[in-house]
Amino acid sequence: MSKANLKLTVGFEFELEAPPAFLDASHEKLCKAVQELLGAMVLQGMPTVTAKQLGKAGISVLSHHHHLDVLNTAVAAAPRQELVAAGPHLTDDELDQLARRSAGRVPPSDAERARFLRRHALALVGEFRMVPCVVGARLSSGKDATLNARLNLTNGSVLVSEQDRHSRLQANQEGLVVALQGSDVRLRGACAGHTLSGPVIEVALGELSAHRDALIAIWQQNG
């Protein structure tokens, strides 16, 4: 059996004007309707013509698949606060990209919208974006301590420095503070337990989004 040694991608983008009935449909139904309209004439015709043309040079098409997506550009983008809540680690330009990519595709229910936007925010930028911080907490001994660490803006996790990883924090304590170095930003944190890497400290996504502008400015300065 022949083995593929080339991968061909051909993309077209069409600007369409559709009747109101299409604009009222959900993203899933809209894509299904357009796919049915295109049918085999387009979806199978393109591979057939491609195989014929490439065959003139001795190139064989071993397999193919298609991807179809339709964005309803008549629908307003999600409000900025929803975008920030889903991706507090994103820059202004990246939030604009998320708005464009999600326009016309965001589910109607609040819970589904949040999950949808969060998933696409991480797909857009999933890398860890770290900023230096210090954690003010109470040790299991009852003493107060300050731990050097780094805050991950992408998921809210706090990575404690190697010299402080032996510290054991008091369980379920209130008032655990994650302070960003060189700024007045103070975030509420929580300790979810301990591992070999030290205390498991987390900052909630909502806490990150509430201070998003300052956090991004700090990350960009440290970058």
Helix (H) or strand (E) holding 130: strand 130-138
What does the pLDDT read at residue 171? Answer: 84
What does the pLDDT read at residue 75? Answer: 65
What does the pLDDT read at residue 78? Answer: 86
Burial status of residue 170 (CB atoms within 10 A of its CB: 0-12, 13-18, 19 or more): middle
Residues of the chain with pLDDT under 70: 1, 74-76
What does the pLDDT read at residue 2? Answer: 80
The verdict on 157 and 209 lying in the same domain is: yes
The verdict on 153 and 183 lying in the same domain is: yes
The verdict on 5 and 69 lying in the same domain is: yes
What does the pLDDT read at residue 205? Answer: 96
The CATH number linked to 164 is: 2.40.10
The verdict on 166 and 108 lying in the same domain is: no
Dist CA 192 CA 200 (whole Å): 5
The verdict on 68 and 81 lying in the same domain is: no
| Domain that includes residue 147, residue range | 130-222
Dist CA 68 CA 49 (whole Å): 19
- Structural domain count of the chain: 3
The verdict on 109 and 150 lying in the same domain is: no
What dihedral do alpha carbons 122, 126, 129, 130 form, nearest 10°? 100
What dihedral do alpha carbons 97, 103, 109, 112 form, nearest 10°? -40
What does the pLDDT read at residue 39? Answer: 92
What does the pLDDT read at residue 222? Answer: 84
The verdict on 105 and 156 lying in the same domain is: no
The verdict on 116 and 175 lying in the same domain is: no
What does the pLDDT read at residue 76? Answer: 66
pTM equals 0.70
Last residue of a domain, one of 52, 73, 94: 73
Give the length of the chain.
223
Last residue of a domain, one of 53, 73, 93: 73
Q: Which two tokens stand for residue 221?
A: 């300065």
The verdict on 107 and 144 lying in the same domain is: no
Q: In this structure, are residues 159 and 189 in contact, taking their beta carbons and an 8 Å threshold?
A: no
